[in-house]
Amino acid sequence: MTAVATAHGMDGSLVPPDWPPLTLDEVRALLSQFPALGRPERILTVSPRPFSAAGVVATKETNVFIKRHHQSVRDREGLLEEHRFLAHLLAHGAPVPRVFASASGETAIAIGDSIYEVHETPAGVDLYEEAISWTPFRTVAHAHSAGQALARLHLAARDFAAPPRKPRPLVASFTVLAARDPIAAMARYLGLRPSLARHAAVRVCAAQALDLLTPFHAELAPLLPALGSLWTHNDLHASNLFWSDETANARATAIIDFGLADRTNAVHDLAHAIERNIVEWLTLVQNAKQSPAVHLDHLGALLDGYESIRPLTPSEAAALAPMTALCHAEFALSEADYFLGVLHSEERAVAAYDGWLVGHAQWFLSDAGRQLLDALRRRAKARSPRGATLQ
């Protein structure tokens, strides 16, 4: 009997999942195509992540992590984009899990209207398994190690030459605010996503967000030519890391969940890590009048860890403040596209296109938002000529 499953809700609560959980009969049919992994014996965990159905499955030979997507969210081509990136990272020494291939050599297995992927379970502890995005690290040491893990990923990704992804739900791209003319770029972005283009409130909120974000785009624009193009993770959160142990000084041992990956740049990815971990956005969902907590100690540790492996160039350091204010925009729109086009939920879509797209943009213009961005600007100015941060 399958255990009752819950998923992370948009306000941080646990809610019924949008996608039915994996069943043992289902994974037995799937893993019959992976004879080397052995017959499945039981489902050990049910993932609370909301956008797919996933869990760790014990087989006769090993434990594997299986994820099922609806093909309206990820088709075979879309999943293979992620798998090629993971294979490159693994070959270049990044701490990422291997994707298993079936007996016929396939890593993306289509069955009916679903598509599956089977990963090895990384070494380490899933310490933040129940944590959702926009909740902080437990310790400064965890933030430091997460920064190091992200820097190692960026070094491994340097020679991955794949083009940007095609328009898909739930991808954290960077095209609109990377353009010289964001208004025209926004029109193109919406036009490629019919569920957004035909929605009047989305168009209004998109225009409002662009207006709010104009000063940050102006700050970033002169620096964009110096930011090298790179395939990036775009969701480096504590719960997308495995850890060496359960202590306050645990080290990150693996990075997982590459569903939001796309060709952006290292600063965009680092900005997402700041946004996901340093600002407690769920406070705004629960009480719009209360400003989210900002963990500046974790911010310093995250960046110190990153730069201990891959020092930022002066241009990258200067770009980090405006990028942190801008990076959320396209993923908020992508989530709105998912809620409208896949789940057909106006209630949840409005939280994305109004609460997250517009609300986060407004917050970065508040006193608390300015304090965070000013901390990044001060750090960028306090650098040695070689680009390393001053200690």
- Cβ(315)–Cβ(227) below 8 Å: yes
Q: Which two tokens stand for residue 378?
A: 């001060």
Instruction: Compute CA 217 distance to the chain's CA centroid, rounded to the nearest angstrom.
Output: 22
CA distance 337 to 198: 11
| Range in 273-287, 339-353, 370-384 the model is least confident about | 273-287
pLDDT digit string, tens, across residues 148-168: 999 999 999 999 999 999 999
Q: Give mean pLDDT, residues 275-279.
A: 95
C-beta atoms surrounding 24 within 10 Å = 14
Helices assigned H by DSSP within the chain: 24-31, 76-91, 140-157, 182-191, 194-197, 200-220, 266-278, 282-286, 296-309, 314-326, 328-341, 346-350, 357-363, 367-381
pLDDT band at 16 (very low <50, low <70, confident <90, very high): confident
Prediction pTM value: 0.93
Q: Give mean pLDDT, residues 207-232.
A: 98
Whether 4 shows a pLDDT value over 60: the answer reads no
Q: Which two tokens stand for residue 122?
A: 């990384």
Domains observed in the chain: 7-120 (3.30.200.20), 140-381 (3.90.1200.10)
| Range in 48-52, 197-201, 237-241 the model is least confident about | 48-52
Q: Give mean pLDDT, residues 286-314.
A: 91
pLDDT digit string, tens, across residues 29-46: 999 999 999 999 999 999
| Contact partners, residue 153, CB within 8 Å, separation at least 6 | 89, 94, 95, 96, 233, 255
Q: Count how many residues are written for the chain.
A: 391
